[in-house]
Structure 1
Amino acid sequence: MKKSFYLFLLSSILFLSCQKQYSQNTNTVSPDVFASKIEKTAKPQILDVRTAEEFNAEHLANAKNIDWLGTEFDTKSATLDKNKDVYVYCRSGARSKKACARLKELGFTSIYELDGGFVKWSTEGHASTKE
């Protein structure tokens, strides 16, 4: 009985520590905070993980498009500086969550995810670039 309890306790600690580590590297922030952080960062690494079609229609200024659904996400992400903040967004937040988790696995140390994605960004009146 004691052995089962200790095994459960150890498993729980390991699980919770992994969850905490994710939250330390990835910060989901509102469009206002996202915009403020980008403005205060010299040469910010802004990553749009939508498709090329979505990106070409409209995107954040100075964003780099690396399609999460494409086949070259890891390769193209390797061109970014892992030790600098990276700002990630998609349309509504589903793809950016997955992309942030992958960036963490690839060794990125500080990741900011736009809560609500580009939809919320636009709804709240923040600027974007139309091509």
Structure 2
Amino acid sequence: MKRYLLIIFTTVALLLGYTSDIFSQSNHTDLQDIDFFNLLVSTPNSVILDVQTAKEFKKCHIANAISAPQKKILLKICDTLSIESDIFIYCFHGERSLFCQTLLDSLGFINVHNLKNGLDPALQNPIMNQYKSLIYFKE
């Protein structure tokens, strides 16, 4: 019985050590609009994932963004990416992108940056005028 308990405790300790090591490697951030765009323009070869609905994407999106309005589509896109890719993820209000950031974390991606509160406040922030050319907006 003692041997059985020792094996269980050792296994749990090893698993906890392994998972904490994985999470310590992740570089996931929730960024305010100006910080998100500053990092985006300074990170070459990054992947921009737009998780808005198709209707929202058609109305407004960041230049060169890949539309992933459904989980199934997002997972297909993720299959083509390295877990070390710099990924910038956003939606219109911030809820879906936060969910997707958690999903990408569970898949092992280590450099995921979420636009906190989404594109809506970014479009209304006068400080963001310097980045308006990166955002396609159709009224």
Q: Separation in 1 of the partners of 2:34 and 2:86?
A: 17
Displacement after TM superposition at 1:44 (Å): 2.1
Paired position in structure 2 for 1:90? 91
Distance 1:100 1:70, change over 3 A: closer
Partner of residue 59 from structure 1, selected from 41, 58, 61: 61
Paired position in structure 2 for 1:30? 32
Read off the aligned partner of 2:43 and give its amino acid letter: T
Deviation >6 Å, runs of 4+: none
Paired position in structure 2 for 1:3? none
**Which deviations, in whole Å up to 9, do the C-alpha atoms of 1:49-105 show, x marking residues without a partner?**
0111111111011111111x3533211222233212101101111101110011111
Paired position in structure 2 for 1:39? 41
Distance 1:22 1:117, change over 3 A: farther
Read off the aligned partner of 2:55 and give its amino acid letter: E
How does 1:1-131 map onto structure 2 within 5 Å? Answer: 21=23, 24-67=26-69, 69-125=70-126, 126=128, 127=132, 128-130=135-137
What secondary structure is seen at the aligned counterpart in 2 of 1:72? helix
Structure 2 residues not aligned, in runs of 5+: 1-11
Say which one has the larger Rg: 2
Aligned residues: 116
Q: Separation in 1 of the partners of 2:119 and 2:37?
A: 12
Write 1 or 2 for the structure with the bigger share of helix: 2
What secondary structure is seen at the aligned counterpart in 1 of 2:72? coil
Identity over aligned pairs, percent: 26
What secondary structure is seen at the aligned counterpart in 2 of 1:25? coil
Structure 1 residues not aligned, in runs of 5+: 1-9
Distance 1:57 1:84, change over 3 A: same
Q: Separation in 1 of the partners of 2:110 and 2:30?
A: 14
Distance 1:116 1:105, change over 3 A: same
Q: TM-score, normalised by structure 1?
A: 0.75
Paired position in structure 2 for 1:5? none
Indicate conservation of the 8 Å contact 2:93/2:117, yes or no. Answer: yes
